[in-house]
A = this chain, B = another copy of it.
Amino acid sequence: MRKDELLNAAESLLADQGAGCLTLAAVAERAGVSKGGLLYHFATKEALIKALIERLIADFDELVAAQDESSYTRSYLAATLAAVRSGRLRRWAVVTGAAGDPQLLAPLREAMCRWHRAGMEAEADPMAAQIVRLACEGLWDVATHDPEIYDESQYEELHQRLLALLPSP
């Protein structure tokens, strides 16, 4: 889909130039399209950013759903580690920054709420699940700002230790 390529362009631009440089002209150029072409697909800049955020959320939800684990928390943990390890994560922090209007972040707030409340009643030890999910969130944050902080073996150990916090199924 053409739209996806445009979103990719916006995303990569955002990643290595920052929110300040996210102009319609720049996105169009990076996507190898004229500004008119870009605006044909996204009528306004807001629409572009909105799509960016929604795709981000949908991607992660999909990744969580794709995990074959026995609880939401375990899937969430596995998905987070997979995402972080793959290095495809410069995105989050920067995208949220691109939203000049805080209302654009509403879907993100909704998702955040979902990610940290979903399936809590099904957990044997809800507070332990809470902690694991919080650590996942923190991992996103830290790894985004400092990608070198953990190596493969540390990720592995982190995964094991976090799993160990959850009551065995």
| Interfacial residues, chain A to chain B (CB-CB below 8 A) | 16-21, 93-94, 96-103, 105, 108-109, 112-113, 116-117, 127-128, 130-131, 133-142, 145-146, 149, 157-158, 161-162, 165
Contact = CB atoms under 8 A, between A and B. Distances in A.
B142 A135 contact: no
Given A117-B149, A138-B141, 9 more contacts: A18-B100, A18-B101, A19-B99, A20-B100, A96-B96, A112-B142, A131-B162, A133-B138, A137-B137
Contacts of A146: 109, 112-113, 116
B21 A161 contact: no
Contacts of A103: 18
Contacts of A116: 142, 146, 149
Contact of A19 (B97, B134, B136): B97
18 contacts: A17-B102, A18-B99, A18-B103, A19-B19, A19-B99, A19-B100, A96-B96, A105-B145, A109-B145, A109-B146, A112-B142, A112-B146, A113-B146, A131-B158, A131-B165, A134-B135, A134-B139, A138-B140
